[in-house]
Amino acid sequence: MEKRVSTPLTEETIRDLRAGDKVLLTGYLYTARDAAHKRMVEALRRGEELPINVKGQVIYYVGPTPPKPGQVIGSAGPTTSIRMDKYVEDLLVLGLKGMIGKGYRSPQVKELLKKYGAVYFAAVGGVAVLLSKCIKSSEVVAYEDLGTEAIRRLYVEDFPVIVANDVYGGDVFEEGRRRFARVD
């Protein structure tokens, strides 16, 4: 069974999610990859405001391709999340509540999710065209000079993700490894 979740994320919603839950997200997401994360954290460390308010929000680690005529967005599959790990705490401190990407997170990030009350969702890689069909609108809101890595505000409907890491320390990747480990 899938859980339907709306953004922005609330504390109550986050506490109801467990690693392995299938979720259909509806609402606004922000996109940001390596270059945008680096720029945001550098701005914060200079004492500047971010170009977006991340409180309660979800950041999707994606650099979508340009749309073809008649499309809202091009291919929009997740990128590897661990590359953003060094930037996560700076954003969680400001109230970021969710991240979407592919692959596992570092032990440090899993602890930060518990500390700050946030969740990491995994999106399936390799189905970027299918994921893009759940994106109903897209607008560049910051760092336009970064091209595909600019920060976009997306409106999504029934965007399919899996809770990979929850606020309780649950980790779908570790659980999967344990479940399928061979015993000699």
Active-site residues: which are they? 37
- Report the alpha-carbon distance of residue 74 to residue 150 in Å, rounded: 14
Listed residue (52, 10, 39, 79) closest to 139, CA to CA: 52
Helix (H) or strand (E) holding 13: helix 11-16
- Report the alpha-carbon distance of residue 19 to residue 125 in Å, rounded: 18
Helix (H) or strand (E) holding 11: helix 11-16
> Residue 177 — φ and ψ, nearest 5°?
-60, -45
> How is residue 96 annotated by DSSP?
-
- Token pair for 60: 């999707």
Report helix, strand or coil for 76.
coil
